[in-house]
Each structure stands twice: as C-alpha cells, then as structure tokens.
Amino acid sequence: DIVMTQSPDSLAVSLGERATINCKSSQSVLNSSNNKNYLAWFQQKPGQPPKLVIYWASTRDSGVPDRFSGSGSGTDFTLTISSLQAEDVAVYYCQQYYSTPYTFGQGTKLEIK
C-alpha cells in the first residue's frame, strides 16, 4: 500500500498570508506512460463532506479559487494557498489514486492566526 504522510499536522496562518501544506508518498505516484501524478487534494470543513480542490497534482477543480495551487512530482507534493481567506479554514487531505487501495494523508488542520 502507498502511505501518504502530510506535514505539518496543524498550521496557523494570518489572513492574507501564504499557507503551505506538504504531502509525501511512500512510492512514486507518477505514471510514466502519461506523465501524470495521481495525486489529489481535498478540503473538509466541519460537518461537511470533503471537497475536491486539486487533481493531477496541480489542476484546480471547477470553481476552486486561483489562490489554491498544487505542485510537486513523484513522491513530494505541496498545496499552497497564496493569500489565506477566512473561508479556507478547514482540514486538508492529500490522496493518491495511482493504485488501490486508494490512500489519504492523515490531514492538516488549517486555522487563522
């Protein structure tokens, strides 16, 4: 199984500042045949289901603000929120869909400082 490890576990950032969350996979999730990283990011607010934010490591899902960006390749990935807004407070999860069992990181709780 591919183990996903996020850092940090929690993060407090001031409004308008940059937030950065890291995710590391225990093996590469890059498919060399199509050069795509099978890595997604989800946002989950209290009492709500998760919401897809980023897929293919760097593609924003429809309607996601452009302050969200994803980067990385192979085993190391980053979710960046360029200018934190109050509505971005949530738990963020990375997930690999390269192979079953699909696995998630443990989550990073993002709060306002």
> What is the C-alpha to C-alpha distance for residues 80 and 23, in angstroms, rounded to an integer?
11
Q: How far is the CB of 94 from other proteins (least distance, A)?
A: 10
Interactions with other proteins, residue window 42-71 (CB under 8 A): 42, 44, 48-52, 55-56, 61
86's torsion region: left (phi>0), alpha (psi -120 to 50) or beta?
Answer: alpha
Q: How far is the CB of 16 from other proteins (least distance, A)?
A: 29
Whose tokens are 């183990």? That residue is: 3
Q: How far is the CB of 61 from other proteins (least distance, A)?
A: 7
* Residue window 6-45: x/- pattern of binding to other proteins, with contact defined by CB under 8 A: --------------------------------x-x-x-x-
Binding residues for other proteins, rule CB under 8 A, total 23
Which residue, 9 or 17, is less far from other proteins as judged by CB? 9
Site for other proteins, rule CB under 8 A: 38, 40, 42, 44, 48-52, 55-56, 61, 93, 95, 97, 100-107
